[in-house]
Amino acid sequence: MKRFGHRDAFLFVQSLVQAQSSFSEALIKQIHSLVLMDRPEDRGIYRRIPVRILGAFHEPPEPVLVPELMEKLIVEFDNKKMHPLQRAALFHLKFEGIHPFVDGNGRTGRLIMNLFLMQNGYPPINIKFTDRKHYYDCFDWYFRDGNAAPMVEMTAAYVERQLRRYLELIQ
């Protein structure tokens, strides 16, 4: 069932891009609701319990702080003037650091990353399972060392691969 929820969420993200929808907290919750189609009790609802990310350096904030942190994050990225690849990667790092939901944070965060990319004319990316360790290392480098560059570089590399694939298809 998770696959259907993710597919529906991706189609929803594509519709947001086409409609040039504004980014908002409600939009994040809508994406999450589609991702967690199989768990109606948790869909689009910020977590009310503490969570830990297994094997991660970073510990997400207490649940009582989540709504305020999400509000600040949305305002921060609504006003940011930075390169779209950097914006997508940095938002993803910070969103996952807040870890606002009990489940589905990674899928929701990657869909939001793709929303940012597609809104700026870039292709969507799909981080491969084979790159999972490097992907998780990027979070540790950011939260332990304050270094967002590895996630920005990983995002840019995926975008470049997608663009090359598209060029190969049209040639």
Residues taking part in catalysis: 99
12 contact partners, CB below 8 Å, separation of at least 6: 30, 31, 34
Distance between CA atoms of 169 and 171, rounded to whole angstroms? 6
DSSP label of 148: -
Other beta carbons within 10 angstroms of residue 26's beta carbon come to 10
119: burial class by Cβ within 10 Å (0-12, 13-18, 19+)? Answer: middle
